[in-house]
Structure 1
Amino acid sequence: MAAHPLPKQEFDYLSDPARLEALYRLNIIDTGTEGVFDTITRLTASLFEVELATIHLIDDHRQWVKASSNGICAPDTPVGKTFCERTVAKKELVLVPDLQKDPVYNTSHFVTGPLKLRFYAGMPLISRDGHAVGTLCLLDTRANIFEWFSDHDLSLYRYLADLVIRTMELRESHVNAQKRFLQASEEDGVTGLVNSRGVLAHLNEQFSKDNSLKSVAGMIQVRLPGLERIRRAYGTPFSNELLQQVVERIQKATQPADLLARTDDVSLLLTRISSASTGKQAINLITQWAAEQGQKLLEEFESPFVCGGENFYLSAQLGLAHSLSSDPSGYSVLERADDAAVKAQKDTPNASSMCWGNSELKEEYKHAVATESRLRQAVEQEQLAVVFQPIVDLNAGNKIIGAEALVRWPDSGEPPIGPDVFVPLAEELGLIGKMGSWVFDTACRTLRHWRDVSRQDLWMSVNVSPKQLQDPALASQLETITLNAGLRPSQIKLEITESGLIEQYGQVTQLLKKLVDCGFKLALDDFGTGHSSLSRLIQLPFDVLKVDRAFVSDSPEGAGAAVVASLSSLAKSLNLETVGEGVETDTQEAFLRQHGYCLAQGYRYARPLTANGFLDELDKQNNN
């Protein structure tokens, strides 16, 4: 065409920024076919009995076909060579009954070319803010299909065009809602950081790029278990404010290329992608970054955070891991970083540290899960065992007068697992109540058997887990088991650890009183390893003070000797019976005697024995 068919003022409207913004806001140009728009064009063609109905969108340089009643979308057409740009520019119906007779379009390629179009009608698609962004047009190779539109036809045509634009706007709202939902699902509402989903989406996007370089993702998981304690003590808003300070401090210690995320209530995740010509070089780069960045982060937690006018020191357990681009999902590296952070927390629960993740950690956790299953079965089927370590009277020639019941797990076919491992695991799994009751019942029945056979006035000492102390019915349960075994509660001493007492002092005082009222004697176990105040100790109804083996084994030459001596004086002033644990040598026994200890237990006298083995030991004692 020799000249543009539109006057300059109308042509300028095509490039109006507000019109283009309205068009692009629909997010529909260059999208694929959609059934709803194809259906509208077929309906339009049928209602107006034309060969072709199409939906066109026009920006400042081209016309693009969204839908066509025949299912064929023509290629883009440059502005200056289309019928619909007049409709858009005028923002009103344009009707050309015979294109061959129209002085503007009679030389158009659409008229003279293979299509040989003769009829055109275009109804503008007017956006909600009044801008024409495209057309719903009628096309035919026959002229004069309509020379004018009746009021009914014009109303129907406008309705169909309005249906097109409103459908586009609804589509845009739906797409935007999806984007907002996706953004919300990938974003942490407290810090504004991305979450785990956002990290994985970021990695997937980066790894999907066509890049000749080898890429590696490195992650540093930062666990802050102290945040949970602060939340419980000060409330969620306070802990969130403290968390925000942590985020700001970490961000200042990182680079713009690093992505910081919040993965759960007490964990942050720092991610970086490094690229190099070879995978080995990329791994070296990311390993160096993780090690150096991890050390920087640990240093950031050496100084306190100030919140509400108070100083708070937080320990950070860091888990480091990296992955090759062969794992585009990122799940593997994320899991390894989290596993490593968990291990760091387990190894150093009260101090900042970092740990590298590796495949061995996964096997370790698999073993832990299997152990949980076996322990659950062992407790349910009473496959545990109870052994008994004699307790001797130092003032009666080391005569056996009682025993401590100790639970063991004789797991056949597997490496032995000590009570220092499976007892805390039972507490974690909620099995300690059932296991503790079974151990107590076994100990009571065994004591009754010993007393019947030996005719000696023996007593039994049984450990009570801190978790058991949370059960308000514990006193009545233990009393019932004791009486059913034909014993008196006074023949049983319940050992309670100092650490367990500290953790729940306020909760257990009433329970301890109930146990004493039942007639049980209470022993404070492993005393000296915690931080109990003397005022609390004096207020609680203990009868026995057991001094931890760590201090006994350090006597008489080591620093522990002073503790052993001072605790003896303390016990005398409080009228408590004293037991020295872990006695292995004559020298240690002599030191206990020197400082007035009444009772002792340890390998010096006997290792833990079976019930029958204990009776054999009694026989040896009686025959000497």
Structure 2
Amino acid sequence: MNDDESAFSSAVDKEMTALIATLHEAGRRLEELTGGEVDAVLGPDGTPFLLQHAQEKLRLHEVARQAAILNALPAHVVMVDNQGSIVSFNRGWQKFAQSNGLSTELTGINYLDACGDGGEVAEGILSVLAGDSSSFAIEYPCHSPTQQRWFLMTVTPLTHSASTGAVIMHLDITDRVQAEVEMKSLNRVYAMLSQINALVVRVKNLDELFAVACQVAADAGDFRMSAIVMVDPKTKQMTSIVSAGKDEKLLTDIKKLLASPEGMKKSIVSTVIEKGKPAISNNVKIDTRFVFGDQYADAGVNSAVVLPLLISGEAVGVFALYAREIDFFQKDEIKLLVGLATDVAFAINNIEKQKRLNFLAYYDELTGLANRNLFLERLSAYMYKANSEGHQLAIGLIDLDRFKNINDSFGRLTGDALLKKAAEWLKDRFLDTTYLGRIEADCFAIILPLVKSEGHLESLIENTMSAFLAHAFEVNSNVFRISVKSGIALFPDDGTDAVSLLKNAEAAMKIAKKSGVNYLFHTQSMTATTADRLALELRLREAFDKDEFTLYYQPKVNIASGKMVGAEALIRWNDPHIGLIQPDTFIPILEEIGLINEVGRWVIKQAIKDYLSWREAGLNAVRIAVNVSSLQLRNRNFADDIEQAIASDPRVAAGLEIEVTESVIMGDVEQSVEILQAIRDLGIPITIDDFGTGFSSLSYLSRLPLDILKIDGAFVREMHTEKGGKMVSTIILVAHALKLKVVAECVETEEQLLQLRKLDCDQMQGYLFSKPVPADVFEKQFLSLS
């Protein structure tokens, strides 16, 4: 540039400087003159010029507007310049920093430094600042000591020009993430439920159920660990534990803890068993109910639930599930898992019931020995072996003598305990339990798989029976020594199949019992006897259907006046082929075939019918005593049957009396008292029959609801002896002291009657006055017009 050009340029600069100064001054003057009310002026061509004050005001307004927008956003927002330094931030960011103990002085801090070198977040921000990316976003967890949180971070340029900086926004997405995590855990639980429910339907044994259920929980349910613990219902101690999972040491420690009574008491399992309600912990590390605390966390377990397995309201075990996540078990999961525990408990109950049914199908529940069905199967196998090896086989039956009397006198519980003791004795003697079975209530069966000779077999039987009799069976402080009867059948002589062989052994045993011998081998004639018995059973059923039973009546006489004061109803069977059959022949069979209750009800109804008929005819009808069997008295509905029978006519109660033998009452004293008292409350007297022949003592009389005591005929027949006379005298004195009337039965001579009169006995019954007679004969001979 020459000198002229330089001078011109300098002049222009000065002029421009002066012009700018003039414009600023003009603007200032205008603002002063207008009091700041004028924002712009127009040039000569009408173009507006914004004054300096207006420009500043507009800038401040824009800043305020942007700040208001940022503060209204539901996010934490910072703005950074093109170097990553924070130039501004919104109120949300400030509150977040304050609530988490962070610095609120952020302006000027480089945001990139907080992200670490080379991190994914730092690289994303730099990419946006450099203009390489139009945006960047990432989701990340940001948990505090008190809660779990997740955020969405987005980075966008501040303007279209990348060099001006960026806006970084953090949006709290905890609710959305937690919802997704809820949904994820539910899907896990649903998958587990589906597989375990399929297992419940399919599996038939507990070991498989427990093992597979725990493995499904670990696999499909994605639980860190799972365990099923079963306990004894009485002791509440662990009986078994099955588990699956990723931490063997922790599982081993849990098993070790629960194995001891002291450890079980300290465990959460004990609490759940006792209360029958789930125990839930969403942070086991700080939950003092879960005794392993830090060890859980070290094993990757943060949440746990222990669910009771309830059967009929009682916890029989627990299903424990251990999750990795804190706060895993929420309301929906717990609802599903409680349902799962219910399904598993149902499966346990179902398997146990099926197991019991299978057991009962082949084994005797009381003794654990083979029942009749299994015994026959085993007998068939031993017979096949004996046939193939060419030797004889025998079966022997052992029937306990007078077991029914023991059962009636001491009660069924004592009888059952005695049968268990007898079964244990047989197990100890024969060792191999496949030889043994219980085929009837008090009858055991034994297989003797190899018979060397007939003498050897007899020796074995005699030794066994002698040893059994010599053994003292102690039950509830009572000592029993029991003789037995036995029937023996040989293969192949007495049967070529198991059913026939057992049937023939039974025939031999029945003959042995009737004849009084200890044992008998089967003969052909015994089979005919058994067939006769079966035919008799069938004829008895037909007799009841065809109304072939009838009642005979035997008078009861007042000893002082000699007048009839009552009668005993006695059943007879009027068989059209044989004729009149006495009750001793068919009553035991009626009891065995379960017909005694129906026949007993018929007797009561017929006695009532005869009594009312005599009254309607104007005859002096007397009270009728009806005998009751043990099976009738054991029926808890018996009193209701009596009440229903007398409900038809208010006169009936005055014409009925119930007779029960002493041994029947003593079979179950408590139940007998309850039922007899209910009958007595209906206005019906109670007589104890055959007194003195059972196992009771006179002291029991004060406990029983009785009105009449009947002395057994055996004592009456022995009254002529000093001992017999004292016995009858004592019975009468004690009975009168208890305000009971006394009836002597089987009185057949004048001497007996004279002695009874001297002893002040109230009534007598026997052939001296009359034998039992049919109803029509009784009516004509003994009932006069009233």
- TM-score, normalisation: structure 1: 0.58
Q: 5+ unaligned residues in a row in structure 2: which ranges?
A: 1-361
Q: Distance in 2 between matches of 1:232 and 1:441?
A: 30
Residue 220 (structure 1) aligned to one of 369, 376, 396: 396
Q: Does structure 1 conserve the Cα–Cα contact (< 8 Å) formed by 2:552 and 2:572?
A: yes
- Matched with 1:15 is none
Q: Distance in 2 between matches of 1:208 and 1:334?
A: 20
Residue 465 (structure 2) aligned to one of 295, 298, 318: 298
Q: Distance in 2 between matches of 1:569 and 1:308?
A: 34
Residues 443 and 300 (structure 1), Cα distance of their counterparts in 2 relative to 1, 3 Å cut: same
- Matched with 1:524 is 688
Q: Does structure 1 conserve the Cα–Cα contact (< 8 Å) formed by 2:494 and 2:522?
A: no
Residue 560 (structure 1) aligned to one of 707, 710, 724: 724
Residues 457 and 314 (structure 1), Cα distance of their counterparts in 2 relative to 1, 3 Å cut: closer
Q: Does structure 2 conserve the Cα–Cα contact (< 8 Å) formed by 1:320 and 1:341?
A: yes
Residues 545 and 312 (structure 1), Cα distance of their counterparts in 2 relative to 1, 3 Å cut: closer
Q: How far is the alpha carbon of 1:216 from its aligned partner?
A: 4.3
Q: Distance in 2 between matches of 1:244 and 1:460?
A: 48
Residues 485 and 425 (structure 1), Cα distance of their counterparts in 2 relative to 1, 3 Å cut: farther
1:507 aligns with 2:671: yes
Identity of aligned residues (%): 26
Aligned ranges 1:57-76 → 2 under 5 Å = none
CA deviations over 1:270-314 (Å, ceiling 9, x no partner): 425557xxxxxxxxx42x222222111122213326789987645
Residue 366 (structure 1) aligned to one of 512, 517, 531: 531
1:460 aligns with 2:660: no
The residue type equivalent to 2:708 in the other structure is: V
Residues 554 and 454 (structure 1), Cα distance of their counterparts in 2 relative to 1, 3 Å cut: farther
1:207 aligns with 2:401: no
Which shifted more, 266-275 or 549-558? 266-275
The residue type equivalent to 2:719 in the other structure is: S
- Matched with 2:594 is 430
Which shifted more, 300-309 or 368-377? 300-309
Residues 328 and 439 (structure 1), Cα distance of their counterparts in 2 relative to 1, 3 Å cut: closer
Q: How far is the alpha carbon of 1:474 from its aligned partner?
A: 2.8
Q: How far is the alpha carbon of 1:343 from its aligned partner?
A: 4.7
1:269 aligns with 2:446: yes
Q: How far is the alpha carbon of 1:511 from its aligned partner?
A: 1.4
- Matched with 1:335 is 503
The residue type equivalent to 1:267 in the other structure is: F
Residues 360 and 417 (structure 1), Cα distance of their counterparts in 2 relative to 1, 3 Å cut: farther
Q: How far is the alpha carbon of 1:490 from its aligned partner?
A: 3.0
- Matched with 1:597 is 761
Q: Distance in 1 between matches of 2:400 and 2:630?
A: 25
Q: Does structure 2 conserve the Cα–Cα contact (< 8 Å) formed by 1:224 and 1:315?
A: yes
Q: Does structure 1 conserve the Cα–Cα contact (< 8 Å) formed by 2:615 and 2:621?
A: yes
Q: Does structure 1 conserve the Cα–Cα contact (< 8 Å) formed by 2:414 and 2:476?
A: no
Q: How far is the alpha carbon of 1:405 from its aligned partner?
A: 0.8
Q: Distance in 2 between matches of 1:241 and 1:565?
A: 41
Q: How far is the alpha carbon of 1:436 from its aligned partner?
A: 1.6
Q: Distance in 2 between matches of 1:616 and 1:272?
A: 66
Residue 456 (structure 2) aligned to one of 276, 289, 295: 289
- Equivalenced residues, count: 414
Residues 208 and 370 (structure 1), Cα distance of their counterparts in 2 relative to 1, 3 Å cut: same
Q: Does structure 1 conserve the Cα–Cα contact (< 8 Å) formed by 2:507 and 2:529?
A: no
Q: How far is the alpha carbon of 1:592 from its aligned partner?
A: 0.9
SS state at 1:336 partner = helix
CA deviations over 1:571-618 (Å, ceiling 9, x no partner): 111111111101111111111111101211111111111222112213
Aligned ranges 1:105-254 → 2 under 5 Å = 195-208=375-388, 216-223=392-399, 233=413, 243-250=423-430
1:587 aligns with 2:751: yes
CA deviations over 1:405-442 (Å, ceiling 9, x no partner): 11100112126532123222222222222212221121
- Matched with 1:399 is 563
Q: Does structure 1 conserve the Cα–Cα contact (< 8 Å) formed by 2:383 and 2:491?
A: no
Pair member with larger Rg: 2
SS state at 1:531 partner = coil
The residue type equivalent to 1:263 in the other structure is: G
Q: Does structure 2 conserve the Cα–Cα contact (< 8 Å) formed by 1:410 and 1:416?
A: yes
Q: Distance in 2 between matches of 1:595 and 1:445?
A: 36
Q: Distance in 1 between matches of 2:671 and 2:469?
A: 34
Residues 242 and 354 (structure 1), Cα distance of their counterparts in 2 relative to 1, 3 Å cut: closer
Residues 472 and 302 (structure 1), Cα distance of their counterparts in 2 relative to 1, 3 Å cut: closer
Q: Distance in 2 between matches of 1:585 and 1:569?
A: 22
- Matched with 1:357 is 522
The residue type equivalent to 1:382 in the other structure is: D
CA deviations over 1:435-484 (Å, ceiling 9, x no partner): 12221121122122333445426221111222222333333432343352
Q: Which has the higher contact order (CA 8 A, sep 6+)?
A: 1
SS state at 1:301 partner = helix
Residues 449 and 598 (structure 1), Cα distance of their counterparts in 2 relative to 1, 3 Å cut: same
Residues 475 and 196 (structure 1), Cα distance of their counterparts in 2 relative to 1, 3 Å cut: closer
Q: 5+ unaligned residues in a row in structure 1: which ranges?
A: 1-184, 252-257, 276-284
Residues 272 and 544 (structure 1), Cα distance of their counterparts in 2 relative to 1, 3 Å cut: same
Q: How far is the alpha carbon of 1:496 from its aligned partner?
A: 1.1
CA deviations over 1:305-329 (Å, ceiling 9, x no partner): 6789987645443222334569654
Residue 555 (structure 2) aligned to one of 382, 386, 390: 390
Q: Distance in 2 between matches of 1:489 and 1:568?
A: 27
Q: Distance in 1 between matches of 2:574 and 2:426?
A: 47
Q: Does structure 2 conserve the Cα–Cα contact (< 8 Å) formed by 1:220 and 1:270?
A: yes
Residues 570 and 436 (structure 1), Cα distance of their counterparts in 2 relative to 1, 3 Å cut: same
SS state at 2:716 partner = helix
Residue 494 (structure 1) aligned to one of 647, 658, 661: 658
Q: How far is the alpha carbon of 1:238 from its aligned partner?
A: 10
Residue 539 (structure 1) aligned to one of 692, 700, 703: 703
Q: Distance in 2 between matches of 1:614 and 1:259?
A: 59
